[in-house]
Amino acid sequence: MTILEWDGYQAAGTKAQTTKGIVFGKDYTDEFGANGLAYSLITNDSQAIGKVRTGSKFDLLHPCAENFKDYVDGGFVQPFDTSLLPSFANLNPALVKGGQFNGQQYAIPWDWGYGSVIYRTDMVDPADATGWELFWNPKYKGRISMWNGATTNFEIAALKLGFPEMDNLSTDQLDQATQALIEQKPLNKRLWVSEYTDLQPMLTNGDVWIAYSWQDQWVYGREHKPPIPFNFMQPTQGRLGWYCGFMLGKDTANYYHAHKYVESFINHQACLSLTNNFYYGSSDATVKISEITDPLLAKSLSIGDPNVLSDTSKVHLQSWEPNEVAVQTAWEKVTAA
């Protein structure tokens, strides 16, 4: 099977998966071995849909919710047969619903998390760290690193500028957000590309004090020896929220294998492994706080609350953008400016 996947999320049992204690994917590789699995890796959502739009075929894909509709509308995927997924019944209904199109289950939700500002509390004045505008603070020029993720940066700019619909910007709002990002760009040390080989080292060794990140880096900092003084901000404008899931390639010749593979990721132990090893939330609604090894992480992820991504006063779910191409092109203008 060929799988479009984020680096680091390869199934346990494959050579590429080197994190100890990982369980997701293990049931599949235990039963069928790892030799039949091939991964095509992505570093951002635009790249993922780009690969598919330009003709690459995959048996399984692991995109995020903001692009689910693009895959369905483009005819790149087919619905799952949920009766072949024993653990499907345990999944968070709110996330499951987001994967339904035309009454069919096109996406099986698996991982979710927050996106926000992570900063070094030993370097950044707490009075400055209140909201997304921290990225625009010239006091920290050269110590900031935003993600090289086109649409996410426009969502951040939209929240900073106070636009109510961050994923449906008008032409005028898009121009304003573009200008804001062009003004912000020189403050960055670098636009990070890879979370583990790019962002993490820069934050850890102090080259960068302020960055866009997901909550896993905050846990990483706390578990680091010695601990790195990170804070994962709850901006006044709210955090970003996201969830991703598996989609089934339209022309897959491995229909049943693909279901087996997905089941090996959404079963209870696999979902626990996702949270305890990778510090992300999972779609398994049966996970209990007591099963999470890090109580602070469990609290942060509001384990047990199925509507965790619905409270818009705290989190803004990254959603499908009707003008995605215009946003992506605007991001290219920002990087070229």
Partner 1 sequence: MSAVGSRARRSASFLRPGSGLLILPPAVWVLAVLVAPIVLIGLYSVNLKTNLLGVPTAFSTANWKDFLPPGPNPFWDRFKISMTITLVVSVITVVAAYPLAYFLAFVAGKRRYALLMVLLAPFFTSYLLRVIAWEVILNNHGVINSLLWDLGLRTRGDGIPWLIYSKFSVGLVLFYSWVPFVAVPMFVVLDTMDRSLIEAAHDLGASRLTAFLRVTFPLSIPGVIAGFVFVLIPTTGEFITPLLVGGPSSFMFGNSIQSFFTDTPNWNYGAVLALWLVAIVLVMLVVFGRYLSTDLEDAAT
Binding site for partner 1 (CB under 8 A): 44, 46-47, 49-50, 53-54, 70, 73-74, 142, 148, 150, 182, 185-186, 188-191, 193, 205-207, 325, 328-329, 331-337
Cβ at position 197, least distance to partner 1 in Å: 10
Question: Within the chain, where are the H helices?
Answer: 26-32, 45-53, 68-73, 93-98, 150-161, 171-184, 200-204, 215-223, 255-266, 268-278, 295-300, 324-336
Cβ at position 63, least distance to partner 1 in Å: 14
Q: Which is nearer to partner 1, 184 or 273 (CB)?
A: 184
Angle between helix axes 150-161 and 171-184 (nearest 10 degrees) is: 100
Q: Which is nearer to partner 1, 18 or 54 (CB)?
A: 54
Q: Prior bond to 226 cis, omega within 30?
A: yes
Q: Which is nearer to partner 1, 288 or 333 (CB)?
A: 333
Residue 73's SS3 state is helix
CA 217 to chain centre: 13
Cβ at position 193, least distance to partner 1 in Å: 8
- Which pair of structure tokens corresponds to residue 183? 């003004």
* Residues 65 and 243 sit within 8 Å (Cβ to Cβ): yes
Q: Which is nearer to partner 1, 141 or 288 (CB)?
A: 141
Cβ at position 102, least distance to partner 1 in Å: 17
Q: Which is nearer to partner 1, 307 or 335 (CB)?
A: 335
Q: Which residues contact 16 (CB under 8 A, 6 or more apart)?
A: 10, 39
**CA–CA separation, 169 and 218 (whole Å):** 30
CA-only gyration radius of the chain, Å: 19
Cβ at position 328, least distance to partner 1 in Å: 4
Q: Which is nearer to partner 1, 190 or 222 (CB)?
A: 190
**CA–CA separation, 173 and 163 (whole Å):** 8
Cβ at position 206, least distance to partner 1 in Å: 6
DSSP-assigned beta bridge partners for residue 246: 108
Q: Which is nearer to partner 1, 54 or 102 (CB)?
A: 54
**CA–CA separation, 196 and 147 (whole Å):** 12
Cβ at position 151, least distance to partner 1 in Å: 10
Q: Which of 282, 323, 320 is nearest to 301 (CA)?
A: 282
Cβ at position 285, least distance to partner 1 in Å: 34
Dihedral of the alpha carbons of 120, 126, 130, 133, in degrees to the nearest 10: -60
Residue 333's SS3 state is helix
Q: Which is nearer to partner 1, 179 or 269 (CB)?
A: 179
